[in-house]
Amino acid sequence: MAPVGAKRNILERLDAGEVVIGDGGFVFALEKRGYVKAGPWTPEAAAEYPEAVRQLHREYLRAGSDVMQTFTFYGSDDKLENRGNNQRFSGRQINEAACDLAREVANEGNAMVAGGVSQTPSYLSCKSENEVKAIFKKQLDVFVQKNVDFLIAEYFEYVEEAEWAVQVLRTAKKPVAATLCIGPEGDLNGVSPGECAARLVRAGAQIVGVNSHFDPMTCVKTVKMMKEGVQKAGLKAHYMTQPLAYHTPDCNRQGFIDLPEFPFSLEPRILTRWDMQKYAREAYNAGIRYIGGCCGFEPYHIRALAEELAPERGFLPPASEKHGNWGSSLEMHTKPWVRARARRDYWEKLMPASGRPYCPSMSNPDGWGVTKGHADLMQQKEPTSQEQLRALFAKAKANQ
């Protein structure tokens, strides 16, 4: 169990060299549970179904998470009303409810609350810097009112928009983390990971890294490049990773969004708990101390991170009482051949089969080359029309 004591802020923990375990991916987890709609991926469940959000927070806390991130991903007003996504609650109500739920569960343990903002339809639609910053400011006002412990600008494909977000968040005088959803090729404008990280630090972020879009090992590789860029620029920062729980060796610059399996057929790519332990160790060895997850991560994945790093942290998470180390609980199984699997070398060496004999091991990702400013990325309040869909279907067929 975690030691009981006065709660220290995120920077104090990282400055002391401690490992901070993040949480998992709320939108994907809650979509599977029937509380989030795929497509908009918006967080109205915080107000509509608070019991579902509260329970998921509790499961991550029990699994070892040190951070309860507010379920405010895509919680900006322009995203909440994008493409006919009508809401029963205002953006402020959703953000306030998310903060209250995160704080309630954080107080059940020794966790911190992080308020998060993410990329906006307004930026993709080429709105001005002031207009985009005003959107971030509306969410920040709620986070300040609810007194979250620190702030995260996460899931940005363009470093420029992430810089604008950080510049707004830093006005709250709270610690600021910033993560881009990029891989080794850099952001969608071709800015390298090292330069992206240096720009985020200059903008005011004390913690930088990546989240989503790529698998854990790709994300660790990308953060290593970020670290080199920050050091080369003569700057200092802490580093974080919150990757996908999916294997993505075949992804291009856009990441898993371009995979033909996105988002409804990704399950064959899910990492095992043992893959997660390897990720935790690789991230730690790379000097990353804020280690969590994003889309596809379930509580058992977070538990794997916490168990792998238990020697460094000095304790196991509460959920480990129901999980034997490296399969040791299988010693209690009725079948002898299953009891024979109660050992580390079995699970470390296993090459899991997919059970799909006619499926390929990798896919051919889409590559439309659509970036900010393109007509297809201009967003709208009205629902996508049938005419617009027909044009997209035709383009998809032409690109096959």
SS3 163: helix
Torsional sign, CA 19, 13, 24, 68? positive
On whether the CB atoms of residues 181 and 209 are closer than 8 A, the answer is no
CB atoms within 10 A of CB 267: 11
SS3 154: strand
CA–CA distance, 398 with 357 (Å, rounded to integer): 29
Residue 181 marked as a ligand binder = no
Strands 207-211 and 238-242: parallel
E strand residue ranges, the chain? 20-21, 67-69, 112-117, 150-156, 176-180, 207-211, 238-242, 290-291
The single residue listed with the structure tokens 């297809």 is 376
Residue 99 marked as a ligand binder = no
Name the burial class of residue 100, with classes exposed (0-12), middle (13-18) and buried (19+) by CB atoms within 10 angstroms of its CB: middle
- Of the CA atoms within 13 Å of residue 171, those in its CB half-sphere come to 14
On whether the CB atoms of residues 363 and 266 are closer than 8 A, the answer is no
- Of the CA atoms within 13 Å of residue 102, those in its CB half-sphere come to 29
Torsional sign, CA 377, 267, 250, 217? positive
Please enumerate, by residue number, every residue annotated as part of a binding site: 294-295
Please enumerate, by residue number, every residue annotated as part of a binding site for Zn(2+): 294-295
